Amino acid sequence: MAKYEQLADRLAIQIKQGIWQPGEKLPSLRKQSSLTGYSLMTVLHAYQLLESKGVLSARERSGYRVAESVEVSSTANAVQSAESVSVNDFVFDVLQASRDPHMFSLGFAYPDPSLYPRQHLNKSLAAAAKQTTVTSALDNLPPGNQALRKLIAQRYAARGMHISPDEIVITAGALEALSLSLQVVTRPGDWVLIESPTFYGAMQALERLGLRAVTVDVTPENEINLAAVERALQSKPVKACWLMSNFQNPVGYSLPDEKKQALAGLLKKYDVALVEDDVYAELYSGEELPWPVKHFCDDGNSLLCSSFSKSLVAGFRIGWVAAGKHANAIQKQQLMSTISTSVPVQLALVDYLETKNYEKHLHQLRRALHQRKLAMYHFLHEHWGRFAKVHYLQGGYFLWIEFCPNTDAMVIYKIAQSLKISLAPGKLFSLSGEYNHCLRINASFELTPSRRQLMNKLTNKIKQYLEQF
């Protein structure tokens, strides 16, 4: 085969794979030549051959483009993995479904991104672009940017929590913080206490780290029962407790302060590390920012994890852990896994917190979430109230829906999907397939007239399904 035919073959395969897409311009003759090492003449012959086959089209002065009519094979199927872990696959599907911009994403984990101060953040990002220096990458190695850690400590300080900047480690979102935390306080085979239902990320982390779960049941009406916690701690040599004490995901309860204090005491008594997920705390709708359980812990054995992803910006992937005596161990684990979080976004957050009004944004965000959640609650209560219990609790942006026990929420999930509505089915939050008659609804999106219409359609279809019983 001549060289130009070899190159043409190679390019044809690339076009089939979608590396160059219909209508897209190919590298110029000169660039292709320097990239591939073929002579200009060989490249020209290859391009001409593909043009004669209808794969490329040449335009005066604008080079060669992939023909609009060219066939592109969908390779997405070729990369399907044979491996499968049921809950994980399912979480993945739910998250992927929420990606579709045409979806009404009631299964989404983040608040409506239009509530974030995008223009201010973009300005801060542009400012950060001017600030990076030769040594920026070093300055931002674990534990992370010093100024950012101080700003986070200052916000805790303003509420009266004494968290030293030195115990804070910046992470890739709260999930990395939680996962590193669990890792440094456990060894494979250890027992960990979690709530049920619980955030699926907790179950995934336990599975990945080879840990065993003891669960304590919670409901919207009955937040975690301390007697049950103590029984669990007595029954197994529990090493860590992973929980959310504020606006728990998915059911929405918050622990009152006296229970937080009592829980802190219990964990200390049994020498159990606390891994606390506090990402929703800033989204309170009462008078005051609630305390984390860590506020009541005095032995340095609690790891408070949070992030800016739910309250300021989802895409930066910046979280942190206030890790007490485990701060150094966390840094080491991070150096071994992701090394550090991205420098420019750390700098942009410092700029945002220093020059923009975060408190004002939070105030507006809280108000918007409160209003939207109320509106969604009223809608659901009115339309679904006869066949489901719609739990409303203050704070955050989730509603927990309970159908009759024999309802299969997976059917409702699929009905909704056919209407381009994503939902988070209850069994996503269970280790053992429970809560299959429940749904978690993200109530942070505005109920526009067209969305109300869509929800009415969903309501009718759910009624049809329920009439079978």
| Binding of a copy of itself by 272 (CB under 8 A) | no
Q: E strands of 71-220, at which residues? A: 104-105, 168-171, 191-196, 212-217
Least spacing, CB of residue 204 vs a copy of itself, in Å = 4
**Strand arrangement, sheet containing 273-277:** 168-171, 319-322, 302-307, 273-277, 238-243, 191-196, 212-217
CB-nearer residue toward a copy of itself: 34 or 364: 34
> Per CB under 8 A, which of residues 286..305 are in contact with a copy of itself?
288
Distances (CA, A) of 307 to 22, 128, 231, 270, 317: 41, 19, 32, 28, 8
Q: Give the residue with the Cβ less far from a copy of itself, 88 or 459.
A: 88
Backbone angles phi, psi at 312, to 5 degrees: -140, -50
Q: How far is the CB of 162 from a copy of itself (least distance, A)?
A: 5
Q: Which stretch binds a copy of itself (CB under 8 A): 166-174, 221-229, 405-413, 438-446?
A: 166-174
CB of 446 to a copy of itself, least distance (A): 13
Which residues, numbered 91-110, are part of the site for a copy of itself (CB under 8 A)? Answer: 91-92, 95-96, 98-99, 101, 110
Residue environment code for 139-172, b if the CB has 16+ CB neighbours within 10 A, otherwise e:
bbebbbbebbbbbbbebbeeeeeebebebbbbbb
Q: What are phi and psi of 201, to 5 degrees?
A: -60, -30
Specify the residue, 234 or 337, whose C-beta has the smaller distance to a copy of itself. 337
Joined tokens for residue 431:
């280790």
Phi-psi region of 317 (alpha: psi -120 to 50; beta: other; left: phi over 0): left
Torsions phi, psi for 42 (to 5 deg): -65, -45
Options 151-159, 191-199, 231-239, 384-392: segment touching a copy of itself (CB under 8 A): 151-159
**What is the x/- site pattern for a copy of itself, positions 390-429, by CB under 8 A?**
----------------------------------------
Return the range that interacts with a copy of itself (CB under 8 A); candidates 7-15, 229-237, 272-280, 427-435: 7-15
Nearer to a copy of itself, 296 or 403 (CB): 296
Considering only the stretches 204-212, 230-238, 260-268, 415-423, report the one whose residues sit in contact with a copy of itself under the rule CB under 8 A: 204-212
Q: Is 153 in the site for a copy of itself (CB under 8 A)?
A: yes
Among 164, 225, 285, 459, binds a copy of itself (CB under 8 A): 164
- In whole angstroms, the minimum distance from the beta carbon of 219 to a copy of itself comes to 26
193 touches 229 (CB < 8 A)? yes
Q: Which of residues 65-84 bind a copy of itself (CB under 8 A)?
A: 75-76, 78-83
Q: Are 400 and 438 in contact (CB under 8 A)?
A: yes
The reply to whether 167 sits near a copy of itself by the rule CB under 8 A is yes
Give the type of residue at 440.
R
* Phi, psi dihedral angles at 53 (to 5 degrees): -90, 0
Q: Where are the beta strands (DSSP E) in 261-328?
A: 273-277, 302-307, 319-322
Per-residue binder mask for a copy of itself (CB under 8 A), 329-368, x = binder = x-xxx-xxxxxxxxxxx--x----------x---------
Q: Rounded distance, CA 211 to CA 186, Å?
A: 8
Return the residues of window 36-65 that contact a copy of itself according to CB under 8 A.
36-37
**Listed residue (200, 194, 202) closest to 224, CA to CA:** 194
DSSP state of 438: E
Measured from the CB atom, the residue of 263 and 304 that comes closer to a copy of itself is 304
State which of residues 70, 175, 194, 321 lies at the interface with a copy of itself (CB under 8 A).
Answer: 175
351's CB contacts (< 8 A; 6+ apart) are 124, 127, 128, 131
Q: What is the CA radius of gyration of the chain?
A: 26
Give Cα separations from 407 to 22, 103, 255, 402, 463 (angstroms). Answer: 47, 24, 29, 9, 11
* CB nearer a copy of itself, residue 76 or residue 227: 76
With respect to a copy of itself, which residue has the nearer C-beta, 183 or 430? 183
**Please, which residue, 116 or 403, has the CB nearer to a copy of itself?**
116
Q: How far is the CB of 171 from a copy of itself (least distance, A)?
A: 8
Position 32 contacts a copy of itself (CB under 8 A):
yes
Can residue 321 be called a binding residue for a copy of itself (CB under 8 A)? Answer: no
Measured in Å, how far apart are the chain's first and last C-alpha atoms? 69
Map the footprint of a copy of itself across residues 113-142, applying CB under 8 A.
Answer: 113-114, 118, 121-123, 125-126, 128-130, 132, 134-141
Binding status of residue 186 toward a copy of itself by CB under 8 A: no
Q: How far is the CB of 355 from a copy of itself (least distance, A)?
A: 14
86-99 helix and 200-208 helix, angle to the nearest 10 degrees = 130
* The only residue of 59, 68, 188, 386 in contact with a copy of itself, by rule CB under 8 A: 188
